Structure 1
């Protein structure tokens, strides 16, 4: 008899890992929910949810064609909606595209090993076309998490702006960071409000997200390489193409191995696609790079005043507020 449940115990997660391994899939521990489909005591299907991304989906080879895939997708979509995720993605292998098309998922981009689909027809094209910008002259871009926005980020924007006619600054939309996405976007806009020719944009989960680049959100000591080919492909095929971006600016990355690996992948892939990659030296103070991780560490230690020289006034006011302090108090405890 078929029944379903949500994984909760270590034993259940180990069963999922072993089941997925038979299908050449790796379980991704950042998933918030994992559905298990059993026939009596036998695990015959599984799927996971990571923010609005459906992934790690597999059905036992001898049970395919029985509607179990639909059961898994229905459960995951329902759980995603309960968590207020309406724009959904599927992260899977390219060979599986035909399996998910009947469920109204449409392909966005693929590499040799990964395919990304979404539940909005022409969703990414519609989104990118809606972004403001002149789309003329020399257009550059920066992609940042800004968790939170610092004077180091501001310095990169200022340096990049000197080399372009228009600068597109994309702020990540993932909710996995300590500072919520809406606050991060607002702080970047406030921190760049006096700069002409700068467009600060929401990336809407299409750039460096749980959908396009899941390894970015794993603990930094668990991943050796970024494996960011899908994210880079999306940037090239949609953002650079529509917005006429010919330069992408990066800050040197002495602190995060995963970001450094991502930067190296961009240096290897973007120039052949007509996008020059320019690496800028990070701003320092007292011999240390100004970084968001440094700011977060100080906040978690309760050293709010030591944050002041590292961030714009708008960021400091937010971090010093009750809302800002609460974020780091919760994180610390």
Structure 2
């Protein structure tokens, strides 16, 4: 009788990493670099399935064809879900090809949004998105011109402030969403607080936590997409689709403001995708010029560079006073130490 076993795979070991990479490649998938935990399903010591966890996202799940329809996906998903729960992650997501959705729905996952023939996003609760929209609805402000800005703010600068001020000058109300996925060097709680403090005097502006539905580039999986350009396109279309279908109607948003991006080709392409997608949903996209100081665009990366170099006076010229006070506080020292170490 065949013996089935689930075993953790340590991707830090070259042979195990190569084995998983080859297995995924045979199933048309790629091994992603951000996998934190990987498990293999073995039958008589033969690898017949694998799956991985990256924070709250289950990904790189594959089963050999000969073992499909035998509950093997259930074994892997249940194991990964339990591992996530043990780590305090209870709200889980899966991105998969649309044809694979029936594999995950019986396991308690619910489709949120499907990008035709490309990707479907699922979560392990039927009310997660509705709860988030309910929290947004409580902050709805009725107006004819309602703008939206999505920012990361790692950390909040005068450039971000200028973008939000400019949006407020062109709208009656502006909703600012701070990307919540914690992959930035400044923790989300800090980034969110600095944005709120930095725009507290702007009466037209409401600041929101981005939640799990303002999609982060860091968490979007590319393991089932073959071309890097396709990854960028699909990510933008998924983000725009969720924004247009759920978030914009909830708050009455009619305009999405973006800052022009002379430094990052990926973000520049993303802006162009927004312009091509959102107007079809009744949402105008306005690209605003970035604020400059001393002939250079003000950016969070510039602040981090100055932090590495200890140039506090230069930082003071390009961040609001609230951000500067944080950066010179004891609270910020561990973050600054991490920035210098990473650099």
Fold similarity call, TM over 0.5: yes
- What does 1:1-333 align with in structure 2 at a 5 Å threshold? 1-3=3-5, 4-8=7-11, 9-111=13-115, 112-131=117-136, 132-209=139-216, 213-214=220-221, 223-224=228-229, 226-227=232-233, 228=235, 229-333=237-341
- How far does the alpha carbon of each residue in 1:296-333 deviate from its partner, in whole angstroms, 9 at most, with x for none? 12212333332111111111111222232211312332
Cα distance in structure 2, aligned partners of 1:156 and 1:127? 25
Q: Check conservation: 1:91, 1:211, Cα contact below 8 A.
A: no
- Runs of 4+ that moved beyond 6 A: none
Q: Check conservation: 2:140, 2:252, Cα contact below 8 A.
A: no
Deviates more, 1:149-158 or 1:93-102: 93-102
Give the gaps of 5 or more residues in structure 2.
none
Per the TM alignment, residue 22 of structure 1 is displaced from its structure 2 partner at its CA by 1.9
Q: Check conservation: 1:185, 1:202, Cα contact below 8 A.
A: yes
Pair 214,288 (structure 1): closer, same or farther in 2 beyond 3 Å: farther
- How far does the alpha carbon of each residue in 1:53-104 deviate from its partner, in whole angstroms, 9 at most, with x for none? 1111111111112222122112211222233222111111111111111111
Please report the RMSD computed on the Cα atoms of aligned residues, expressed in angstroms: 1.8
Q: Check conservation: 1:248, 1:278, Cα contact below 8 A.
A: yes
Give the gaps of 5 or more residues in structure 1.
216-221
TM-score of the aligned structures, taking structure 1 as reference length:
0.93
Deviates more, 1:74-83 or 1:249-258: 74-83
- How far does the alpha carbon of each residue in 1:121-164 deviate from its partner, in whole angstroms, 9 at most, with x for none? 13212311321121432111000111111000000000000111
Q: Check conservation: 1:128, 1:239, Cα contact below 8 A.
A: yes
Where 1:245 maps in the other structure, the secondary structure is coil
Aligned residues: 327
Cα distance in structure 1, aligned partners of 2:204 and 2:336? 34
Cα distance in structure 2, aligned partners of 1:142 and 1:203? 11
Q: Check conservation: 2:291, 2:297, Cα contact below 8 A.
A: yes
Cα distance in structure 2, aligned partners of 1:286 and 1:298? 14
Deviates more, 1:7-16 or 1:284-293: 7-16
Q: Check conservation: 1:116, 1:212, Cα contact below 8 A.
A: no
Per the TM alignment, residue 210 of structure 1 is displaced from its structure 2 partner at its CA by 6.3
1:218 corresponding residue in structure 2: none
